[in-house]
A and B are shown apart, each in its own frame.
Chain A
Amino acid sequence: MSDQKQPRYSLLQVPLKVVNVGLEGFAQDLQHHGAPVLHVDWAPPARGDARLADLLSKMGS
């Protein structure tokens, strides 16, 4: 391990640009630390109910 080269660019050595999908709490935490965050309000189709999601796929939604 010790002879591996350091990557030229490290994720945490440049300003972060974050897209957060789903749980808004993660976005809020980053915002509190000053990181710019684009939050995407997303949830699994039919709130994760597999039966309803299957019906929706067959009914063309």
Chain B
Amino acid sequence: MEMIEQANAEALQRLLAGDPVLIDVRPAGEVLADLGDRTILHAGPPIEWSRMCGPMRGAISGIAVFEGWAKDLDDAARLAAEGAFGFQPNHDFDAVGPMTGMTTASQPVMVVENRTTGNRAYCTINEGLGKVMRFGGNDAEVLDRLRWLRDVLGPAMGEALRQSDGIPLKPLIGRGLTMGDEMHQRNVACSGLLLRALAPDLARVMTDSSALAQALAFIAGNDQFFLNVAMATGKAITDPVRNIEGSTIVTAMSRNGTDFGIRVSGTGDEWYTAPVEMPEGLYFPGFGAEDANPDMGDSTIVETVGLGGFAMAAAPAVAGFVGAGAASDAALFTRSMGEITIGENPEWTIPALDYQGVPTGIDIRLVVESGIAPTINTGIAHKEPGRGQVGAGVVKAPLDCFDAALKGIADRLGIA
């Protein structure tokens, strides 16, 4: 259908033209328009308290205590059940968040500007590994770390970035792909490259050398520090692709631990949802599949722009880490994703595939026709509140979302 082909060509052009730059870190309440009082932004499509999974509830209880809206975790859970807090998706505020995806007014968010279109996207700072709020952690250690991010690292990163011209992310990610990152479960190279770009300006603005050392050690000690930057990058690139009449290209994939949702360009901000699936993967010692929560997080925005599971061939080490098979199998995942995308990104290339670009532009028609579901690399949270991460794995996007989206766009175009 010519109209759809033209609309999708425009969508792909916008995806490839995106020019994301990390420019600032600000409190969410200052930069997220219309973020209301006692409002908690979460990962995935909309969901009410009664349907939230364990780690999502744990994180909400923790963030309510962190914001001073509840005196302790039990009080927070009671208030949440009574409707004292507003729950809204990050995606409705130009934002994204990993796993539980908690975003509230006082948390610092990184600001990524798409310099081609001028829109901005936001994501909190990555907390590190282990027991952290994004995996449902909520004890004193977790909240203390969030306070340090709010009071020390966030303001320092913001000041450092404002003194610079910003950090261009497209070339940085391109380089990371050639160094073995896929930007979802492996961010070792990009975290190092970001630290290298950020460190001189951080040193200029942080006059207390012990505070500076702590900041540098925190970033250097977290192999996933760049994940949240990559997520804001994905959001900054995909938001201008929304609302192209007739386009069947996916603009967001996201999960809240209960539902998986997708958005498609031609149907704007409509969510098409299906029950979220369980990841298949490897578990940390002492944990197993019986401990795992279903898939969760806005981090699938990286797959939406051709990274993560779509770029598995760039990161054969990840195939082993997430239990997806041998390193030599990694290329199969990327080639498979080529079956459901309409283009490749010439600026994000994979050496092991003779510098082929990452598969870009998921077309729901190709997903429905082939039955090939997008592959997602993901962390696995414990199903109980407050326990944190228990493993990492691979999960498939549920095909029912794509079936529903196809019917939705057909209705909109008057195709019976």
Contacts and interface: CB of A to CB of B under 8 A. Distances in A.
Interface of A: 43, 45-47, 49, 52-53, 55-56, 58-61
A46 B368 contact: yes
Interface string B165-197: 000000000000000000000000000000000
Contacts of A56: 365, 368-369, 406
B371 A61 contact: no
Interface in B88-126: none
B378 interface: no
Given A55-B406, A58-B415, A59-B248, A46 B4 contact: no
A25 to B, nearest CB: 18
B67 interface: no
Nearest to A53: B369
10 closest Cβ contacts across the A-B interface?
A60-B1, A61-B365, A55-B410, A47-B371, A45-B369, A61-B369, A58-B415, A59-B1, A56-B369, A46-B368
Nearest to B363: A61
A58 B403 CA distance: 15
Contact of A61 (B2, B366, B399, B407): B366
A55 B369 CA distance: 10
B415 A60 contact: no
Interface in B344-367: 363, 365-366
Interface string B222-233: 000000000000
Given A46-B368, A46-B369, A52-B368, A59 B4 contact: yes
Given A46-B371, A55-B407, A61-B365, 16 more contacts: A45-B369, A46-B403, A52-B406, A53-B369, A55-B406, A55-B410, A56-B365, A59-B1, A59-B4, A59-B409, A59-B415, A60-B1, A60-B2, A60-B5, A60-B365, A61-B363
* Chain A binding surface SS class: helix
B247 to A, nearest CB: 12
Contacts of B366: 61
Contacts of B406: 52, 55-56, 59
28 contacts: A43-B370, A46-B368, A46-B371, A46-B403, A47-B371, A47-B399, A52-B368, A52-B403, A52-B406, A55-B406, A55-B410, A56-B369, A58-B410, A59-B1, A59-B248, A59-B406, A59-B409, A59-B410, A59-B413, A60-B1, A60-B2, A60-B4, A60-B5, A60-B365, A61-B363, A61-B366, A61-B368, A61-B369
